[in-house]
Amino acid sequence: MRTAIVGAGLGGVAVAVGLHRAGHEVTLIEQAPDLREAGTGVVVMPNGVQALDRLGLAAGLAGWSVLAHQAGLRDRRGRPLLVTDAARAQEWVGAVHVLHRAELHRLLRAPLPAEVVRAGTPVERLDVEAGGVSVISGGRVVVRADVVVVADGVGSRLRAQLFPDYPGPRRTGRLDLRGVVQVEHLRSLVAGGLGGGDEVAGLLGGILVDRRSGAMFGLFPLGEGRLYWFTDSALPDVVPSPEQARDLVAGLMADWHPAVPALIAATDPADVHVDPIACLAEPLPPFAVGRIALLGDAAHAMPPDLGQGASQAFEDAAALTRHLLDADAGVAGIERRLLAYDAERRPRAQRLLRAALRQSRLTTRTGAAAWVRDGLLRAVPSRLATRRLAALWQATPPPNGGEAER
């Protein structure tokens, strides 16, 4: 089967590998001049790892697992609000992995032959014809396919073509700032009076929130002597440069736990990524139209508050690969399989989209509502919070024991 994937981000590369290994004649189309992933760290939750394992791509994650003993939510000083036993949750459902996005992208794309990739090819539209779907770039057909997978991100141009009345993405009014700092910089901070490495270690895997500003800070180990941090704060009128954003957020968090402003200020602006947070304005109706399927942020872009963006794209990739195994049954057979993919993936992805929006509203509350939130969170038993975390990380098992739709 001829399959074209538009968009070579993490989800697009994962499904390209899965379908290539399943025997499809795959073409992976990317508008950038080469395959690379920008950004800083990415957290792959246990459900995402399970999906990669079904694609035969999880082996490369070995050595990147994170076993934090205590996670959950803390106040800006680092004092616990909602305590979860992350180590126990991972014993139940599998390990969390944290990698640099560029490193994860290299791991995922390694099995792909170079000849299946068409970089530097911005796709303008898809033309559906009797014999398949034509992918148009530069006013000409660059590939004709039996199936097209749209994986071109939150601002998907092709989604707008498929659903012309759909409102598309919207900004949430929040600024996502992500950075990577070397531990050697951390040592100099400790020597300068930060208070010891234990202060930083106690923050790993958790989220700090501030009831005054509604801002948030998270920290994870990244391996190879690095730490990955991220913040969520109100979006300024003008999106700042990485250096401006770093300094702005370091100032906003100056009276937080002392490790927070120190880590941010120690990060080279070249290692800072600035992203106004956007998500889909409303749930996308279907994830499949005829011979065309949508995947990842093109189908269900969500706020980053649950850390499920990449993992949901990997679940999409695993499900789509399974549904398209040996799918040489003509147009009706292909369309039926894509509808089965939609029926499997849309309810779960949209449920997590709604949950991420709720989590964003919870963590960004300010004033009296935030005081009430903090009191209620402190009252939640750790065992209950841990079970809820494990349930979030548990992938929904494929229907019919994992068999493809016939």
| Separation CA 21–CA 23 (nearest Å) | 5
DSSP calls for 234-300? EPPSSPPPHHHHHHHHHHHTTTS-THHHHHHHTS-GGGEEEEEEEEESS--S-SEETTEEE-THHHH
pLDDT of residue 399: 58
Closest CA to 7 of 278, 299, 289: 299
| Separation CA 217–CA 338 (nearest Å) | 39
pLDDT digit string, tens, across residues 234-268: 999 999 999 999 999 999 999 999 999 999 999 99
- Mean pLDDT over all residues of the chain? 91
pLDDT of residue 235: 93
Phi, psi dihedrals of residue 307, rounded to the nearest 5°: 65, 30
Least confident of 1-15, 73-87, 194-208, 276-290: 194-208
- Is residue 296 within 8 A of residue 313, CB to CB? The reply is yes
- Average of pLDDT values for 283-298? 96
Tokens encoding 181: 């700092």
Strand partners, 82: 73
| Separation CA 279–CA 353 (nearest Å) | 9
